[in-house]
Amino acid sequence: MKVFNGKTAADDYMSSHTLTFSTPELTLTRFAFWLGDMVPDPKNPGQQMPRIMNFVEERDFAPTPLVDDDTFVPTGAMKTIGGLYGSVGTPTDASTKFCPECGSKLSTIAKFCTECGANQD
């Protein structure tokens, strides 16, 4: 898959340009024009191409594994903090339940226990 390496492009731009007396909008505008400048094509002598093409590279990405809802086991990276769990829109008063496996307090819409990983369906 061809992807734009924006970090390399930004580093290259910033190494030769100053931010003195620049606003974020002005810097972004200048960066966009800089990417659009025509430069010599290193693969085709005598030809030109937009500078942005120097930062397009071929990358091979591994497929993202899907989460199987029936066999999901939490890693412990996410823990409940202060008894709060769920989305911002989830009411925190009477809309809670307890895990039948470990007894942890959960949101009524939780599919898995945040402590033991037990399926809540």
Does this model's pTM top 0.95? My answer is: no
Average pLDDT score over the chain: 82
Beta strands in the chain (DSSP E): 2-4, 38-40, 48-50, 56-58, 96-98, 105-107
- Identify the residue with better confidence: 84 or 99: 99
Q: Over 90: is that where the pLDDT of 97 sits?
A: no
Q: Over 60: is that where the pLDDT of 85 sits?
A: no
Task: Assign residue 83 a region (left: φ > 0; alpha: ψ between -120 and 50; beta: otherwise).
Answer: left
Closest CA to 115 of 67, 80, 83: 80
pLDDT value, residue 84? 46
pLDDT value, residue 6? 93
Q: How confident is the model at residue 93 (pLDDT cuts 50, 70, 90)?
A: low
The residue ranges of every structural domain in the chain are 2-58, 94-120
Structure tokens that stand for 22 in this block: 């620049």
